[in-house]
Each structure stands twice: as structure tokens, then as C-alpha cells.
Amino acid sequence: MLMPAIVWFIIFLYKPMYGLQIAFKDYSIFRGVADSPWTGFEHFETLFSNDQFIRAFWNTIKISALNLLFGFPAPIILALMFNEVINATYKKTAQTIVYLPHFISSVIIAGIVITAFSPSVGIVNTVLGWLGIDPIYFLTKPEWFRPIFVGTGIWQEAGFGSIVFLAAIAGVNPSLYESAVVDGASRWQMMWRITIPSILPTIIIMLIIRIGNVMEVSFELIILLYQPATYETADVVNTFVYRQGLQSGRYDFAAAAGLFNAVVAFVLVMVANTLSRRYSRTSLW
Amino acid sequence: MSSVTLSGVEKYYGELRVVHGINLIIELQEFVVLVGPSGCGKSTTLRMIAGLEEISEGTINIENRVVNRVAPKDRDVAMVFQNYALYPHLKVFENIAFGLRIRKEPKEHIEKTVREVSEILGLTPYLDRRPAELSGGQRQRVAMGRAIVRHPKVFLFDEPLSNLDAKLRTQMRAEIKRLHNRLGVTSVYVTHDQVEAMTLADRIVVMNDGIIEQVGTPMELFNNPANMFVAGFIGSPPMNQLDGVITTSATGLHATVGDTSIALPALDNVKAGQAVVVGIRPEHISMSSVDGLSPVPISLDLVEPLGSEALLHATVNGQALIIKAETHGEISHLHQVAEIYAPVDLIKVFDAETGKVLNSAARQS
């Protein structure tokens, strides 16, 4: 049963690690990975003196921080809300509706977002128009990129992400609630004093995993939504790597940027895991 | 003065009736045990008293107040659950204090009450521990502590000892009994273990298939079971039940079990040829001759030594029979047993059709 996953890891994660060495080489596709000459940390020095990379790095951090701040609690809140719904039919229907966006391709999602925020036919500007507000060119204004991107991410993934927390809630011993009911607890008190503390280990594990992916903001959606006018707030390390590596052919430089990204993510997940183990006795390993 | 009164209480799950019109009066400070096999409706009845299950029909009174529509928190009951229901993220102190904090009691009162109760239950050294760091017995004490701090009118226990090992169960049983004697709070206790019921209860309520089979003190139920179900449920091992047919002779009434005749006590409500079940407790069977009694031949199958006593598994004309015998430190003589004597005055006779006892005025609910 494990074989497909192991093969996937080997082909797409472990084997490409061999190519990481080009971050320390003057890579030529004609010489190949092994025969290209070593250059030490030259690409990293260039990277850290590159304004575009510095900007992309901070954009990644800011978008990830917003994602963490708003995107991480969203599925938890949704799961807690679903848990309070008594009518089973209503609950199932609502769950299906919020799970759906997860299964839609990023290209379609981007198309929906572009249409929704269109200054001429978009629903958002139409509503603003009813309120007497002039159309806003949301997708060309840097200050609107991050809220739109983070909001889209929440709409797409909060529902599906809530499944993990719903499963955790389902695992809470029902007699804890019954005991609390006899003691006089309200639903609100039960949520704060029983449900949330009981699913806290799951929340922490998911948070550690999420922190490990902080540097991996949704690359496709950014590529599909950003444009030179919004690079100022939208360009992230992954899109920078894509432009440098694939569009400009600077594979070694792009590999250095990608490696730096991975090292930062690795450090973050190590720190989060250590802190979690120390303070909450819950950790990934 | 009655503490809890159930009048015609019924419970339906859809079309399925699981509790069939129960009537029961529980006196103030009484310890009542609901006992019966799985699915007999005892836990459902307890949960209806707690308010965790709606009552389909009938009324429940707690200290002269109908509580059918009263929320669990306002019934002034406290419940101890089978799996303890301790909050794993809270320390022992906070677990015990939970109900008081929910009710927004003053901090000083909470501190004082929790410490007092912890002292009673021997939990003071463990107040800073989490449930996972406690043994099964300690966890159960914490669960009881949480119920006690509320000073409720009624304690409800839902099989609180079933997760403990046999030794700890015996220990905790004694603790619960001592606690009840000390606090004197009306208690309703659910268990499927008749030993627990016998040792704890002031009165036992035997339930089966959603009805009450018999209510009485432990010794009333043991000595005068109202029917075959109670006879087969109370006692360890339970009462032997042999199918037979009534015969009459010059020497009196007998039951013919296969080709064996067993003398019966005088009965005026039976007739020759009537199918009956002869009940005799394993400890009442004698292996030495009794004046005026004919021996009953048995076929011995197995001897189970228990120390001071032994259980002899045998058959009478193919029907299973268990005999409890004293060993006096030796069991070799028990392997030779080939006949037994059933003292007439200790025999119970049941109607084979209705299952009801024919020779006792056992108290019924």
C-alpha cells in the first residue's frame, strides 16, 4: 500500500535533490549537473543583493502571515460551526457546498476571481455601483492583491480543511459533553471548555504542518492572478524562481533561491515543532 | 419522604419501546441499584432521571417536583459516568471544580470545597496531576469528587466500576458504600454486575427487556425471587433451574426430572402433570443424606476449586446443575460425589409457562 507514495517521493522529491547542487555551480545545460564548475556561494550573494528577491521574500512572509492569521483559523471555526448544526440535512448540504471549491482547478478559481472583481461586469463592482462607489480596478492595484489572494484561498480551502477538525471533534468522548450538561454548561461553554481544548493537539499538528509550508504560497494562483502592476505586493519567492529559472534560463540562480526557500521552511518547522513539544506536549516527532 | 419517583415512565426510540411504563419510588437517602443484562433499559432509565434522555411517557419527580421538562442542570443531580468523563486537558483540581466554575461560584468557595472533597477522597496529593497521570481507581475518585462538590440532591452512577480490574472494583465498591453512609445522599446506581448490586444496594431493582422484574432488598431478592429471571440473575452462581413435571404420591408433592424424583414443598396451586421448573441454589444443595429425602443421582462433570469452596458442575438427567461445596482444604472427596439432596424447604418452584414463582409471596413492584 505504501509503494505508490514511496515511488512518488523518490521520483518527485528525493531524485530532484541531486540537482540542488547547481545552486553552488555555474550550471550549463550542455555540461550537465556533474561537469558544471563549482562557484561556492556566489549565487546566494547575488540573490541577497537582488532587490526583486528581497521583495519576493518579504512578500512571501507577509502573504503567509496573512494566510496563517486568517486562513488557519477559518476551517477550525467552520468545523466548530458545523458541529453546532443540529439539522442533519442542512449540515450535509452546507458541508458539500463549502467543500466544492477545493475540487475546482486553480485556473477556474482564478477565472472566477477575475470575473468577480472585473471593473465592468464583476459582481463586486456592481454591488459597489449600487452603493454609489466608482468601480475599483482591484486586480491591478497592489494594495488589493493580498486581501483578494488570501480571501480566495480561504474560500477555496477552508471547507475542505475543516474535515480534519470535524474528524477530531467527532473523536471527543460524548460523555464529556453529557457530564458538562449535567454540571450546567451552555453550548458556548462546552465549545470553549471541552471542544477546543480536546481538538488542540490536532490544531497544533496542523499548525506545525502549515508553518512548514509557509514559504510555499499557492504558486499557481499567484501566477494566474498577478501582473507586473501588482508585482510589488504579489511577487513571491516561487514566482521569482519561476521567472528566473524558466523564463530567463538562470537555473543555478533559481535553484539557489529555491534552496534558500526550503532552508527557511525547514528551520521554521523545526522551531515550531520544538516550541510545541516544550509548551503543549504535542509535536510531529 | 420520597426523593425520586418514576410514574409510568416509558421511552421510545422511534417505534421501538425500550422502557415499558416503569413505576418506582426511591426514598430519601436510599441507595438503589438498577441491575439487569445489557439492553434491559437500566442506563436509559438513569439517563432519563439525569435529563440526558427525554421521557416519552410518564413523569419523573425529584423531591416533589416534576422534572420532565427541567434541564439537567436544574434538576440538582450529579452523575458519575462509566468512562469517568474527566477532561483530559484539565488537572484534577480543575476537573473537580468544573461544575462549580460553570455555575460561577465564588473562587474562595470553589477552593475550599474542592480541597475538602479531595481530602475525603484521598486525592489531595494528586490535585496537580492530569487524568492521564492517574490510575483507574484514582480517576474514578476524581469523577466522584466532581459529583460530590456540587452537593446534589441525587447521585446517579452509570456503571462506574466496570472499567476497573476485579481487585480495584472490590476496593472502590467499599469506598462508594462508605461515602454513601457518610454523605447520606440519595443514590441511583446502574450496573450489570449482581455482586455490585448485592453489596451496595439498600434496594435492588432487577430490570429485563425494559420492565422491572422485581424490587427488594438484596436478601429478599436472593431468598424470594419473584420469577425465573430474578432467580437466574441474582446469586453467584445463580439458582439452578431444572425442568420437571408435578407428580403426587402418598409421600407428598414431587417433581419428576427425567427419571428422577425431587420432593417439593407443599403447594396448593399446582396440579399433577403440570410443567414446572425446580429452583435450588447451588449453596443449598447437600451432599450428605438428609432425613426423609431420597437422593438425587447426578453425573459429575467438573470440579472447580475456589479455595474454601468449590463449584461442582454436574448434570441431572442431562440438565445442568451447579453445586457449591465447602472444601475444608481438600477437594479429592468432591470428585466422588454421585448423589445429592435438595432440602425441600429451600426449593423454589416456578410455573414453566409464566416463569413466576409458585411457592413464595415475593414482593413485587
**What does the pLDDT read at residue B360?**
64
Average pLDDT of chain A to the nearest whole number:
89
- List, as ranges, residues 65-94 from A with C-beta within 8 Å of B: none
| Alpha carbon distance A83, A240 (integer Å) | 42
**What does the pLDDT read at residue B2?**
66
Q: Is this model's pTM higher than 0.90 or not?
A: no
Element (H, E) at B78: strand B77-80
Q: Do A175 and B99 touch (CB under 8 A)?
A: no
pLDDT digits (tens, 9 = 90+) for A33-46: 888 999 999 989 98
Q: Does A194 touch chain B (CB under 8 A)?
A: yes
pLDDT digits (tens, 9 = 90+) for A197-214: 999 989 988 888 888 777
**What does the pLDDT read at residue B363?**
35
Q: Does A116 touch chain B (CB under 8 A)?
A: no
Domain extents for chain B? 2-229, 237-351
Sheet containing B2-13, strands listed edge to edge, beginning at the edge strand earlier in sequence = B16-27, B2-13, B57-62
Let me know: does B24 contact B59? Beta carbons within 8 Å. Answer: no
**What does the pLDDT read at residue A129?**
92
Q: Does A232 touch chain B (CB under 8 A)?
A: no
Handedness of CA A84, A86, A90, A92 (dihedral sign): positive
pLDDT digits (tens, 9 = 90+) for B252-294: 899 999 888 999 998 888 888 999 999 999 999 998 887 778 8
CA angle A173-A174-A177, nearest 5°? 110
| Alpha carbon distance B54, A273 (integer Å) | 46
User: pLDDT over 70 for what percent of chain A?
Assistant: 99
User: pLDDT over 90 for what percent of chain A?
Assistant: 51
Minimum Cα–Cα distance from A190: chain B residue? B102
- List, as ranges, residues 26-65 from B with C-beta within 8 Å of A: 50-52
Tell which CATH classification among 3.40.50.300, 3.90.1170.50, 3.40.640.10, 3.40.50.620 matches the domain B2-229. Answer: 3.40.50.300
State the pLDDT confidence band at A273, using cuts at 50, 70 and 90: confident
| Alpha carbon distance B351, B365 (integer Å) | 19
**Residue ranges for chain B with pLDDT beneath 70:** 1-2, 360-365
Size of interface A-B (CB pairs under 8 A): 57
* The total number of structural domains that make up chain A: 1
Q: Does B307 touch chain A (CB under 8 A)?
A: no
Per-residue b or e along B333-362, where b marks 16 or more CB atoms closer than 10 Å to that residue's CB:
ebeeeeebbbebeebbbbbbeebebbbeeb
Closest residue to A184, CB basis, from B73, B85, B89: B73
- List, as ranges, residues 145-174 from A with C-beta within 8 Å of B: 173
- Dihedral, B190, B196, B198, B199 alpha carbons, nearest 10: -120
CATH at A144: 1.10.3720.10
In chain A, what residues touch B77 (CB-CB under 8 Å)? 182
C-alpha radius of gyration, chain A, whole number = 23
CA angle B239-B245-B249, nearest 5°? 110
Range of the domain at A270: 57-279
**What does the pLDDT read at residue A262?**
86
**What does the pLDDT read at residue B143?**
93
State the pLDDT confidence band at A246, using cuts at 50, 70 and 90: confident
